[in-house]
Amino acid sequence: MRAAVLHAPNTPMTIEDIQITKPKRREVLIRTAFSGLCHSDLHFMEGLYPAPLPCVLGHEAAGIVEEVGEDVTYVKKGDHVTTCLSVFCGECPQCLTGNMNICSNTEVKLSPGASRRLSWKGNVVHQMMNLSSFAELMCVHEHAIVKIDEDIPLDRAALVGCGVITGVGAVFNAARVEPGSTVAVVGCGGIGLSAVNGAALAGAERIIAIDTNPAKLEVALKMGATDTINASNVDPVMAIKEMFGGAKNRFSGVQYSFEALGNKTTAEQCFAMLAPGGLATIIGMIPFGTKIELHGADFLSDRKIQGTSMGGNRFRVDMPRLLNMWKQGRLKLDHLISGHIKLEEINDAYSVMKTTPNVRQLIKFF
């Protein structure tokens, strides 16, 4: 099968004909239909996060079941599925206490470098996040997929596999945004826009989208934002405080903020823009070794900061619900798709991601 292989950080991926194993016990072989180009993969491409190499990146995908291994009963050949990197076992302490997104069973959720499902010229090619969706086929554990209705377009279904479940999930599951509350979202890529949409679905009264790109802010308004702030020409913390009582008012700020960029400065801003009792949720992948600096006195007013992994999802429950919301016209997915590309165009597409306001490009395999 063809796949995009990353051989070293800061080098172009190459399109290679690699080998994939047949599905073993409780594994499923999927023919990839669409895979989203997520900014998270760019962190590994640029060496900001360590990864065993060579590897096949990609983790936001949807496809059709090609073959199932022994003891697989959840899906059969021909079923449509969405993948998720939040592979779960259902038996470890994390799973049994409702935290399936951070399952600790490494026999199911394989550690980086442990998988032996891919190879090239007789050597191991590592599987990224137990998925590796920048390839025509994926061999995954059956607990890495959710079955979806066949009338759902697979490009929309792929979006839900990472960006949407992470953004909306951060609002629903991690922060538990209450109706009538005030929300700020910093960063209007696919995840941030999904957080905006999630806040609207949660019934937030005021939703402020913050970015430096006017085109993305326009999309945010379509996703449910009530206000926008262009952070290229204004301090977003001061702008938020002016909206809610004035810069000198120590009670001004929002009740919930979300950081969707993975940046030290914006993470600190998300905490600083909180009203007393507010909660900042860091969604973005802040590079290893980066330290966040916060003012200790702010904690005395019950301000809180937290992280979230994939929006604290229970993806086999959450994803079908989200896709039903899309069918009802409540969840906005269409605005997130910037276009479809071929696998051979993946390097150019990632270059474009750094310089244009594109939200999400998807590789179309068939």
* pLDDT tier at 349, thresholds 50, 70, 90: very high
Burial class (CB in 10 A: 0-12, 13-18, 19+), 223: buried
Answer whether residue 355 shows pLDDT above 90: no
Percent pLDDT > 70 in the chain is 100
Give the pairing type, strands 182-186 and 206-211. Answer: parallel
Average pLDDT over all residues of the chain: 95
Answer whether residue 118 shows pLDDT above 80: yes
Mapped onto helix, strand or coil, the DSSP state of residue 146 is strand
pLDDT, tens digit (0-9, with 9 covering 90-100), for 33-89: 999 999 889 999 999 898 999 999 999 999 999 999 999 999 999 999 999 999 999
pLDDT, tens digit (0-9, with 9 covering 90-100), for 294-337: 988 788 899 999 999 999 999 999 999 999 999 999 999 998 99
Q: Which helix (H) or strand (E) holds 39?
A: helix 39-45
- Count, residues in the chain: 366
pLDDT at 129: 95
Higher confidence at residue 315 or residue 356? Answer: 315
Domains and CATH numbers, the chain: 2-147+333-364 (3.90.180.10), 167-309 (3.40.50.720)
Its sign, for the CA torsion 49, 50, 56, 62, is: negative
C-alpha to C-alpha distances, 366 to 68, 132, 161, 295, 309, nearest whole angstrom: 21, 17, 18, 52, 31
> What mean pLDDT comes out for the span 215-225?
95
Residue holding tokens 């905006």? 196
* pLDDT tier at 357, thresholds 50, 70, 90: low
Answer whether residue 353 shows pLDDT above 90: no
pLDDT, tens digit (0-9, with 9 covering 90-100), for 252-306: 999 999 999 999 999 999 999 999 999 999 999 998 889 999 988 788 899 999 9
Percent pLDDT > 90 in the chain is 89
